[in-house]
Structure 1
Amino acid sequence: MAAQVGGMNPAVRLDRALRDRVPACNGDARFTEDKLQLRKSTVLLPICAGCPLFIECGEYAETARPPVGFWAGKWRGSASGKPKSKKTKEAAA
């Protein structure tokens, strides 16, 4: 179960916020690509920073841990867009 933020599940908070506000990334496929190039992230960050859903998006991403995508100014996922293998995780430790 997702952690509660301000007494409400972050997924519910984001869903409710989306009813009233349009995210700055709306319709921009770069935010949901399986793989992100560094040069794209420098372009996406200012878009996120000015988004009216920045806080809700970040709370959701921290609790739901989406496998890929650019959420609240941060890339979520591995560089290849695929989950890290157990060997890769162990080698990084």
Structure 2
Amino acid sequence: MRRSKENNLPSVRIENRGALTKVYVDGEELHGVKSIEFLHDKTVRSFPILKIELMTECITIDTAQVFELPEIYHPFYVSSDKLIDAGFLTLDQLNELVDKGLL
């Protein structure tokens, strides 16, 4: 399967064999697929949408934006302001960790 040269969107293939469903993106199987949902609004000229829910052991998000995580994750995170206020880190130490790419 190849990407369309016109729009550079991925090519997706879904194989279903009874209770076993496999999802392939550009020929590569996606592992950890929990569920899929196929959407296509035929009243509007649009591309079909595939929503994929993946199970994962580790998620890394590399972004300069800070967004609010769902409440389920709140026990696992603490704001850097709280660490500084509690004396665990100084602002200089925090900036050094960010500069080194560790945070």
Q: What interval of TM-score do these two structures reach, taking the shorter chain for normalisation?
A: under 0.3
Q: Which has the higher strand share?
A: 2
TM, length-normalised to structure 2:
0.21
Instruction: Provide the TM-score with structure 1 as the length reference.
Output: 0.22
Could you say which structure has the higher helix fraction?
1
Higher relative contact order at CA 8 Å, sep ≥6: structure 1 or structure 2?
1
